[in-house]
């Protein structure tokens, strides 16, 4: 729970399906997608965007790149801070966008690196000597689009007690540690802290199992509204989150055919039906709104720590 709310507190985001989507995590120096208006919304936080992960070529996810580069170059701040843009390989539209930006932009005062990546790609984000190594990983999203689409997740390499020692009393563990060595008691495992689906039908359970925070496409409120494959419904996301024991969910990319009030109204029913009991927010324009809290009084409330927590 601690990490879940911390991640939400660290997020600067925007979501309006078909128009623009982007989510900055200040703690990871990481930007998921870069729709129109990204630099304007992030303002000074844009200097945090060291790693930029573009999920797919659609304009609402990539149309803000030029503005981001120019803001990095010309507004007051760390103008020479390097930036790496990961984008899907096997995406001719992304290659065209990249070539156009390379030609069209002036000489930038910061090193800009473009890296075409596919599912399984990994980038170490933590420093070499970090106690808990942190990796960024790309995976295939199920967006039913003409070109390759990705999602991304952050994975921490942690240690835990081997299963045969779980449940032993602390004194017994301490005795064993002296006898066979601390390392013999422990095993490595990978823990997803943060998962971003990009635009996608529900992700496979294995990708999100045990995640602290899941940002998932929730374009439709109910399965009945799904007109085509390639996007998920709120109901499907909550079902996935329950099955995969996800601690917190931020619904993103929700269609603005619904009002925020109608989403809130449907939520008790959807939570009951799916049995999801974790923390729940929705990214609605530039606000991160709590959905599992009280029904009244917050709809047009100010962006505040209470709203986010």
Identified binder of Zn ion from the candidate list 41, 48, 58, 216, rule CB under 5 A: 58
Q: Between residues 28 and 57, which has the closer beta carbon with respect to Zn ion?
A: 57
Give which of 23, 22, 20, 28 is closest to 50, Cα–Cα: 28
- Window 191 to 220, contacts with Zn ion (CB under 5 A): 199
- Residue 41 binds Zn ion (CB under 5 A): no
Residue 200 in tokens:
């996608």
Residues in binding contact with Zn ion, number by CB under 5 A: 2
**CA distance from start to end of the chain:** 11
C-alpha 265: how far from chain center: 25
Q: What is the C-alpha R_g of the chain?
A: 20
- C-alpha pair distances (Å), 205 with each of 49, 192, 202, 209, 272: 29, 12, 9, 6, 20
Cα gap 105→39, rounded to integer Å: 16
Q: Between residues 89 and 201, which has the closer beta carbon with respect to Zn ion?
A: 201
Q: Could you tell me which stretch among 30-38, 54-62, 220-228, 236-244 binds Zn ion (CB under 5 A)?
A: 54-62
Element (H, E) at 170: helix 170-180
Q: Between residues 5 and 236, which has the closer beta carbon with respect to Zn ion?
A: 236
Minimum separation from the CB atom of position 56 to Zn ion (A): 6
Q: Could you tell me which stretch among 2-10, 34-42, 53-61, 186-194 binds Zn ion (CB under 5 A)?
A: 53-61
Q: Could you tell me which stretch among 50-58, 235-243, 248-256, 298-306 binds Zn ion (CB under 5 A)?
A: 50-58
Q: Between residues 32 and 276, which has the closer beta carbon with respect to Zn ion?
A: 32
Residue 52 in tokens:
């930029």
**Residues within the interface to Zn ion (CB under 5 A):** 58, 199
């Amino acid at each position: 729970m601690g990490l879940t709310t911390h991640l939400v507190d660290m997020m600067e985001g925007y979501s309006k399906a078909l128009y623009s989507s982007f989510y900055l995590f200040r703690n990871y120096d990481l930007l998921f997608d870069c729709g129109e208006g990204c630099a304007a919304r992030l303002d000074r936080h844009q200097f945090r965007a060291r790693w930029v992960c573009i999920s797919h070529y659609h304009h609402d996810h990539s149309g803000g790149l030029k503005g981001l580069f120019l803001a990095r170059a010309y507004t007051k701040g760390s103008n020479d801070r390097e930036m790496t843009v990961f984008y899907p390989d096997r995406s001719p539209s992304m290659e065209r966008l990249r070539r156009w930006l390379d030609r069209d932009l002036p000489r930038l005062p910061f090193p800009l690196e473009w890296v075409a990546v596919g599912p399984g790609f990994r980038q170490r984000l933590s420093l070499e000597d970090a106690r808990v190594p942190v990796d960024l990983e790309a995976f295939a999203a199920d967006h039913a689009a003409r070109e390759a689409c990705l999602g991304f997740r952050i994975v921490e390499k942690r240690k835990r007690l081997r299963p045969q020692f779980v449940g032993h009393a602390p004194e017994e563990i301490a005795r064993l540690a002296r006898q066979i060595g601390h390392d013999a008691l422990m095993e490595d495992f990978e823990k997803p802290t943060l998962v971003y689906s990009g635009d996608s039908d529900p992700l496979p359970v294995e990708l999100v199992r045990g995640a602290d925070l899941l940002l998932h496409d929730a374009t439709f409120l109910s399965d009945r509204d799904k007109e085509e494959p390639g996007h998920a419904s709120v109901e499907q996301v909550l079902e996935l989150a329950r099955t995969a024991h996800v601690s917190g969910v931020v619904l993103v990319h929700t269609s603005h055919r619904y009002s925020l009030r109608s989403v809130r109204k449907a939520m008790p029913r959807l939570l009951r039906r799916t049995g999801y009991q974790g923390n729940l927010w929705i990214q609605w324009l530039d606000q991160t709104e709590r959905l599992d809290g009280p029904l009244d009084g917050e709809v047009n409330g100010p962006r505040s720590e209470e709203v986010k927590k």
